[in-house]
Chains A and B, each alone.
Chain A
Amino acid sequence: MSDITDAPATADATEVRAWLRECVATYVRLPAEDIDENLPLSEYGLDSVYVLSLCADIEDRYGIEVEPTLLWDHPAIGPISEALAPLLAAR
């Protein structure tokens, strides 16, 4: 995905949201500013199986364990970021 492999020292929902936007933009080859945070990722062609690889990216970047179904229960960037916030805070 990106060459950044070290988790940022602090991360909140805002940071995660911006990073996820870039991730999704890379996946779907659109400018980050064109990614709508409230549009389901499936609308961008990230289907229910492909979205799981995003989970692996999140775990790798932030060093947290994320239940992959979180991305099914929260299908857009905004809700995903909110759901990740407590996991990040508990690091």
Chain B
Amino acid sequence: MSADVPEWPTGLAAALADAMAAGAAAGGAFSTARSAALDAAEAFPGEECDLLDASGLARAYVPERLGGVAGGLPELLSALREVARRDVTVAVAHGKTFLGSVSTWVAGTEDQQRALARLVTDENAVVAWGLTERGMGSDLLAGNLTATPEPDGTWRITGEKWPINNATRGRLICVLARTDPAGGPRGFSLFLIDKSALPEGAWEPLPKEPTHGIRGADISGLRLRDAPVPADALVGGVGDGLGIVLRALQLTRTLCAALSLGAGEHALRLVADFAVERALHGTRLALLPLARRVLGRAAASLALADAAALLGGRSAHGLPGEMSAVSATVKAGVPWIVQQAIDDLAELLGARGFLTEQHADGMFQKLERDHRIVAVFDGSTAVNRSLLISQFPLLARLIRKGSYDATGLAAVTGGAPLPELDPAALRLVSRTGCSIVQAVPDTAERITALAAAGELPPRAAELAALLAERTGALADAMAELPPTGRNAPAAAFAVARQFEACFAGAAALHLLAVPCAADRAVVLTAALERCLELLVPGHQAPSDAFEPLVTPLVQPVEEPVR
């Protein structure tokens, strides 16, 4: 039965968890004291990255056919989330190599892919991704770093990229460079530059920028001065840069969910442990109804975000043509949902949530700061919501039609092995909309039937019907918005948030519709309940809606000895 259930791959994540636990237990890498000290000193987590190198994390950045791990994007999400559960800063510092490499997987030649795969897997080469420049904001076409062709087919590159994660530590950096002085969507190209092959004086690092969160990460920049770059550094064709970057971002934006989920789970664990320890009013915090409600709701938020991330990651393999919609939704929605959980948990922790040396070496305030940056990476929440809004006219039409890619959706929501990720199948704009959302009414009917047959709790059927109704209302709200070329109105952003919640709820719904163990059905039902809270102002969840998620978090808990 469980073979039919789509699950997170756990092989690499489990190996990483063991290695990190061993390091922490010895008071070394990944111990809370060390994480706190590195954060306070704004020092790079070098030993931590070495430990991850030794545990094979880099193989998750490389396609399977080039020597990478087998599980594709879900495996990478699962592995990076495991790291983020311990320390978001380390996950950001190490995971960047995937971002630097992904353009080559999307558009590189076979030779380019093999050469990069070898550097990443055999030498743990650090690869940065240089898109942004000072003063250009999120506009990919505002960059001034320029590549000029030489008569012999090589290139000369001059300009700056900033602020860039691992710009200084990275041996390689993939840069978006202007190749047509006039710019425009065909005016930019990608180059994978090996800094170690550049002559002295052709490049210099720009200083590390102090940051509010991820303080230890190498957030710096790179200045190139007439840097000579070989012909085979060009990734894709001249003028293909924007299209490659937009498709690469579909994968990296989805991956950002791993950072959010890890941070959220870290927060939940810290606060649950605190609630078990904390004695007050002659009892334990974990036994007070209000505290239990907060813990349970946070757990349900994380279960909802987990469902969105799981089906989002699987969509890259099973519904690659829809990733323009899916990735923007996941990138905006998951950090939004998780941030609310972290905010609620912070209230339960009270003052300890702000103290840097109390309760687990101040890990909560660190993860809280670290998590805020996730909403900024790879296009801010506003950028991703704009991308989503630009697709509203088609999405609204397809929700109303109820049409979707049934074959692709079955690959994403079923338990059969996923097809290998085919970057060539990623499209700049989805033709079939977002099947996960469009299929809500059909899947809701299946849930109703399963509940009638006693295979799911009756509440699941009620929630499924509510979600189907809200999905229809969402399509109406999307269709009523005036189409916009840019500068979407504030009302459109509120509708985008609803779409994100609806997508996450839809993901939980599809997972509920496949035969699963009873405890999984309970968690997914609670996730749906949380989704309806987000979608419907004033939605009244039953008082015990989240309670089943609390018990496993706070066991064992006893009344304090008086």
Contact = CB atoms under 8 A, between A and B. Distances in A.
Nearest to A60: B394
Contacts of B428: 52, 55, 68-69
A60 B246 contact: no
Interface majority SS on B: helix, strand, loop or mixed? loop
A70 to B, nearest CB: 11
Nearest to B324: A52
A37 interface: no
Given A53-B391, A68-B429, A45 B397 contact: no
Contacts of A19: none
A56 to B, nearest CB: 4
B141 interface: yes
B186 interface: yes
Given A5-B397, A28-B485, A72-B185, A49 B246 contact: yes
A47 interface: yes
A59 B431 contact: yes
Interface residues of B, number: 26
Contacts of A42: 184
B141 A53 contact: no
Contacts of B387: 49
B415 interface: no
A69 B393 CA distance: 20
Contact of B394 (A45, A56, A68, A72): A56
A65 interface: yes
Interface centre among B246, B391, B482, B483 (most CB of A within 10 A): B483
Given A1-B393, A48-B141, A56 B429 contact: yes
Interface centre among B393, B482, B485, B486 (most CB of A within 10 A): B485
A82 interface: no
Interface of B: 141, 184-186, 242-243, 246, 324, 387, 390-391, 393-394, 397, 401, 427-431, 482-487
A27 B488 CA distance: 11
Interface majority SS on A: helix, strand, loop or mixed? helix
Given A45-B486, A47-B485, A53 B394 contact: yes
Interface residues of A, number: 27
A72 B183 CA distance: 12
Contacts of B394: 53, 56-57, 60
Contact of B390 (A49, A65, A68): A49
Contact of A27 (B184, B401, B483): B483
Nearest to B430: A56
A45 B186 contact: no
29 contacts: A5-B401, A26-B482, A26-B483, A29-B482, A42-B184, A44-B485, A45-B486, A46-B485, A46-B486, A49-B246, A50-B390, A50-B486, A52-B324, A52-B428, A53-B390, A53-B394, A53-B429, A55-B429, A56-B394, A56-B431, A57-B393, A60-B394, A60-B431, A65-B431, A69-B185, A72-B184, A72-B185, A72-B186, A72-B242
Contacts of B486: 45-47, 50
Contacts of B482: 26, 29
A56 B391 contact: yes
A69 to B, nearest CB: 6
A90 B390 CA distance: 29
A48 B184 contact: yes
Can you list the 10 inter-chain pairs with the closest CB atoms, starting with the nearest? A48-B185, A72-B185, A68-B428, A45-B485, A52-B429, A46-B485, A1-B393, A56-B394, A53-B390, A27-B485
B486 to A, nearest CB: 5
Contact of B243 (A45, A56, A69): A69
Given A68-B243, A68-B428, A72-B243, 20 more contacts: A1-B393, A5-B397, A5-B401, A27-B485, A45-B486, A45-B487, A46-B486, A48-B141, A48-B184, A49-B387, A50-B486, A52-B428, A52-B429, A53-B429, A56-B394, A59-B431, A68-B427, A72-B185, A72-B242, A75-B184
Interface in A61-82: 65, 68-69, 72-73, 75
Contacts of B185: 48, 69, 72
Contacts of A60: 394, 397, 431
B17 to A, nearest CB: 39
Nearest to A72: B185
Interface centre among A53, A57, A75 (most CB of B within 10 A): A53
B186 A73 contact: yes
Interface centre among A44, A52, A60, A75 (most CB of B within 10 A): A52
A82 to B, nearest CB: 18
B139 to A, nearest CB: 8
B380 to A, nearest CB: 14
Interface string A1-33: 100010000000000000000000011110000
